[in-house]
Structure 1
Amino acid sequence: MKQKLLSLALGTAIFATSYAQEIKFQEYDLANGMHVILHLDNTAPVVTTSVMYHVGSKDENPERTGFAHFFEHLLFEGTENIGRGEWFKIVSSNGGSNNANTTADRTYYYEVFPSNKVELGLWMESERLMHPIINEIGVETQNEVVKEEKRQRVDNAPYGGLSYGTAIQPHLFTKHPYRWSVIGSMDHLDAATLEEFQEFNKKFYVPNNAVLVVAGDINIEQTQKMIKDYFGPIPEGAAIVRNHPKEDPITQEITATEYDSNIQIPALALSYRTPSMKDKDAYVLNMISTYLSDGKTSKLYKKMVDENKTALQVFAFNRSQEDYSMYNIFALPLGDVPLSKLETEIDEEIKKLQTSLISDNDYTKLQNKMENDFVNSNASISGVANSLARYYMLYGDTNLINSEIEIYRNISKEDIKRVANKYLNKNQRVRIEYLPKSTQEEK
């Protein structure tokens, strides 16, 4: 017993120490407007070089959706100094790895190299920005790659329309460009001209629309010099003006039916339009998601899967975004349980949040879970680099990498009740029955 207590005490001490270690960084702007963030960590001989561009699917022409995600692929095609198809070979032959991803709000590229290859990472990212080759062969090649990705992840994947938002976003948004999914329309990509792709690159892939993060085992002064040499000569682009339309509030439940040929079991989706990720209420909604469906002891899982055995699966999550967020609750019935039964049980748990304060024990568990997630998100150099870029670009406060946990700590039980009442009401949501395609054919 003493040994167990000692282990627990040591584990707690290690956790506290890991949180107490403030993540230090330096940030500054180049003359061309590129923001630079440097983080020194000598614990391992690795370095992450990353660039986040403030361009996502919400920045697209409504008649040319999918461009931002397409560029995530296209800009690996090659540059004036990196031959077509050579990008990944250069990275792997130098002991590195790389990847990229796109959301509605931003596009992120990164390389992880041994620390003695930091200059290589900087050169490659500067090449992507300064000397990309955007030609017909690259566009045609990546068009097929993106189509295959859509087939695998959306068209032929069970519940792909829910996972990628194609079944939800057009109902939740009617004005804002969040109404289309990140993967966009293949017809739009097919119809686009080479000049349209080149203009998209010219507008958004400019240094004053980007943040460069170099994190890991680096020499700060040498890294600063290399950044100036490689990125300093890149000309500043025209200022980007965003004026996306505002959505009218949802005041009456919106109902819809969507069909999926890849499923046998129907699903219920309840989706609420919620505030920007920068709003304190978005943090409260993150906590409510954890409370309702994170783990087997969460309220919805315990009630619907374990006790009542009405659901095969249920989960809630707040998809945080820059302008509006989306709070989604998905549930799959067990056997012949009607979707209306799942809806009733979900609404019962939401009503409890709206009418009563959660218990002290649940509140403590929530706080511990949020703190643990916060620490784990920055447990690797790559995680730190991503967080630094994201907090700067989307929140306007790089130091949230250290201080965000205080926002969660200051969320009270009363805040949870207030936010549940403010956003999670039946007359403010979209209700979607997501059914097997065979059901539609029978009708």
Structure 2
Amino acid sequence: LIVHEDHKAPIVAVNVWYHVGSKNEKMGKTGFAHLFEHLMFNGSENFDDDYFQALERVGATDLNGTTSNDRTNYFQNVPTSAVDLALWMESDRMGHLLGAVTQEKLDEQRGVVQNEKRQGENQPYALAYETITENTYPKGHPYSWTVIGSMEDLDAASLEDVHEWFKTYYGPANAVLVIAGDITAQDAKEKVEKYFGDIPSGPPIKKHDVWVAKMEGTKRQIAQDRVPQSRIYKTWNIPEWKNEELAYLDLASDVLAAGKISRLYKRLVYEDQIATDVSAYYSPGEIGSQFQITATAKPGVELSIVETAIDEELAKFLAEGPTQKELNRVKTQHIANFIRGIERIGGFGGKSDILAQCEVYGGSPDYYKKKLQWVSNSTVSDIQNTAVKWLSDGVNILEIHPFPQYTERPVGADRSKLPETGTPPIAKFPELQEATLSNGLKIMLAQTSAIPVVNFRMMVDAGYASDQFALPGTASLALTMMDEGTKNRNSLQISEELAMLGASINTGSNLDISTISMSSLKSNLDKSLDLYAD
């Protein structure tokens, strides 16, 4: 149990991570971790009804469950008055699920998952995920099959498999429960003792050893798909989640392809204009991770030309490393993104999610501090040496081209009825301050000190309903051009300044209004506001 107190709003995040994912499956029984996740929402022995509806009725948000290679999580944000309900529901499906799982429910959710698989595979470039997975890990590696599994294995899943999976992996000893929000540690502990204390701990689980499976040489696959443009994927196997070098490779990916001023974007999209998009990112895993560069060729451009440009920029990066300015920029962006994430108590990247991830993968809820320290202390040579070590060799290349035109307590919680939720709390909002400038601009300020970030939104009383009849899209086009240059700055200068400041500018419009908004770190407010005004 991990508790984080955050009393800025009367809500609480309840986040349960089970240390089991698709890597715990056996060949021939793939996709079962995800299938089981679906079964967890279809009723338990003491509440044999839809899990979503019961919590949505009391105002739950960010209510969902997900499965990865390494973990399965279930999470929701609830009003403080509904914490008991959320904990009762979570504990009932942890300790009292099997009696409610019938063959009919299994068949129903099997069909739902198989339809989800069909929908995923019916997307442009969808075959890339499975092709890369199968070709970057050796047979028998726990990451050598997809999380959703194969149709044949899903068809073969039985009630016996359900019981074995639940009894093996869904005990308290294999779970981490994070409660974050408007609750005290003492209150949270007492409630968890009440609702979870009588559930058997479950058997000990053997952990997987680290298995990076670094590749050698170059492997290549060429495939066709119903897509409009050719795309290339270059994938390397890199260290596991806890490894310090992963932090350096994360920064390397940002230097290469995060934003308009990144090396690959400037070369491929802005200067040579041979690609419509390019990205570089890493996918972290508990026993091994992957680094990937992806680019989509501009219509009419040979994919080989795009690949050559990528290789040239990567070779230059490996030879010289990032500049100090580039490293400072991506460090600022990394820390700014982390700060914005922890404004939320729940959901992906929120406080409860980070704490659970750090405990499950790192063995300590504050492991994020070590990761942030690695980022803060990293040097140009750290980034260069690590990139040379992992990205110089052992790459898998996938080309996708368009088709031719042709311990138990004696007494637990009362499970004869649902807990009372109490009176819904009253949310407190910051007091609005108003002023009008001499030029007539009206200003409203809502002051909060939750995180050191200042957000602006300027609203103009004209949307796309104001477009001239013969020129639809004028408002949208005008807003889109806002970051393409001013009298004082060109597009690349704007992008670079935003990145260096850890700020962002966004625009949008609807029928009646247009908006230009900015998010700025408080420490860089004056410079950000100068850019915003320009």
- 1:247 to 1:52, Cα distance in 2 relative to 1, 3 A: closer
Name the TM-score, length of structure 2 as normaliser: 0.72
Q: What amino acid maps onto 2:86 in structure 1? A: G
Partner of 2:336: 372
1:431 aligns with 2:360: no
Partner of 2:20: 55
Match 2:194 to one of 217, 223, 229? 229
Match 2:227 to one of 255, 263, 278? 263
Give aligned-pair identity as a percent: 34
Q: Which runs of 5+ in 1 are unaligned?
A: 1-35
Q: Is the contact made by 1:40 and 1:217 (CA closer than 8 Å) also made in structure 2?
A: yes
Partner of 2:366: 399
Match 1:314 to one of 246, 261, 278? 278
Residue 432 of structure 1 aligns to a residue whose secondary structure is strand
Partner of 2:320: 356
Deviation at residue 148 of structure 1 after TM alignment: 1.8
Name the TM-score, length of structure 1 as normaliser: 0.87
Deviation at residue 356 of structure 1 after TM alignment: 0.9
Q: Distance in 1 between matches of 2:374 and 2:325?
A: 20
Q: What amino acid maps onto 1:45 in structure 2? A: P
Q: Distance in 2 between matches of 1:243 and 1:39?
A: 29
Deviation at residue 248 of structure 1 after TM alignment: 5.0
Q: What amino acid maps onto 1:138 in structure 2? A: K
Partner of 1:205: 170
Residue 278 of structure 1 aligns to a residue whose secondary structure is coil
- For residues 325-382 of structure 1, the C-alpha deviation after alignment (integer angstroms, 9 at most, x for no partner) is 0111111111222222111111111111211132222121111111112212212111
Q: Distance in 1 between matches of 2:362 and 2:310?
A: 32
Deviation at residue 244 of structure 1 after TM alignment: 5.8
Match 2:66 to one of 98, 101, 106? 101
Q: What amino acid maps onto 2:272 in structure 1? A: N
Moved more, 355-364 or 198-207: 355-364
Task: Give 1 or 2: higher helix fraction.
Answer: 1
Partner of 2:105: 138
Q: What amino acid maps onto 1:160 in structure 2? A: A
Residue 314 of structure 2 aligns to a residue whose secondary structure is helix
Q: Is the contact made by 1:48 and 1:113 (CA closer than 8 Å) also made in structure 2?
A: yes
Residue 167 of structure 1 aligns to a residue whose secondary structure is helix
Q: Is the contact made by 1:134 and 1:198 (CA closer than 8 Å) also made in structure 2?
A: no
Partner of 1:157: 123
Partner of 1:273: 237
Q: What amino acid maps onto 1:77 in structure 2? A: N
Partner of 1:412: 379
1:39 aligns with 2:4: yes
Which has the larger Rg?
2
Partner of 1:117: 82
Residue 168 of structure 1 aligns to a residue whose secondary structure is helix
Partner of 2:296: 332
Q: Is the contact made by 1:176 and 1:247 (CA closer than 8 Å) also made in structure 2?
A: no
User: How many corresponding residue pairs?
Assistant: 399
Q: Is the contact made by 1:167 and 1:258 (CA closer than 8 Å) also made in structure 2?
A: no
Partner of 2:268: 304
- For residues 396-417 of structure 1, the C-alpha deviation after alignment (integer angstroms, 9 at most, x for no partner) is 1211244432110111100111
Q: Distance in 1 between matches of 2:384 and 2:76?
A: 43
Q: What amino acid maps onto 1:121 in structure 2? A: A
Q: Distance in 2 between matches of 1:357 and 1:404?
A: 21
Q: Which runs of 5+ in 2 are unaligned?
A: 407-534
Task: Kindly indicate whether structure 1 or structure 2 has the higher relative contact order, using CA contacts under 8 Å at least 6 residues apart.
Answer: 1
Deviation at residue 157 of structure 1 after TM alignment: 0.7
- For residues 104-154 of structure 1, the C-alpha deviation after alignment (integer angstroms, 9 at most, x for no partner) is 11011011110111111111110110111222111111111112211222x
Q: Is the contact made by 2:211 and 2:287 (CA closer than 8 Å) also made in structure 1?
A: no
Partner of 2:94: 129
- For residues 295-333 of structure 1, the C-alpha deviation after alignment (integer angstroms, 9 at most, x for no partner) is 111111111011101101111111011111011111111
Moved more, 178-187 or 400-409: 400-409
- 1:247 to 1:282, Cα distance in 2 relative to 1, 3 A: closer
Q: Is the contact made by 1:177 and 1:244 (CA closer than 8 Å) also made in structure 2?
A: no
1:341 aligns with 2:308: no
Q: Is the contact made by 2:257 and 2:264 (CA closer than 8 Å) also made in structure 1?
A: yes
Q: What amino acid maps onto 2:124 in structure 1? A: P
Partner of 2:287: 323
The runs of at least 4 consecutive aligned structure 1 residues that moved more than 3 Å come to: 242-249
Deviation at residue 221 of structure 1 after TM alignment: 2.0
Q: CA RMSD in A?
A: 1.6
Q: Distance in 2 between matches of 1:226 and 1:404?
A: 32
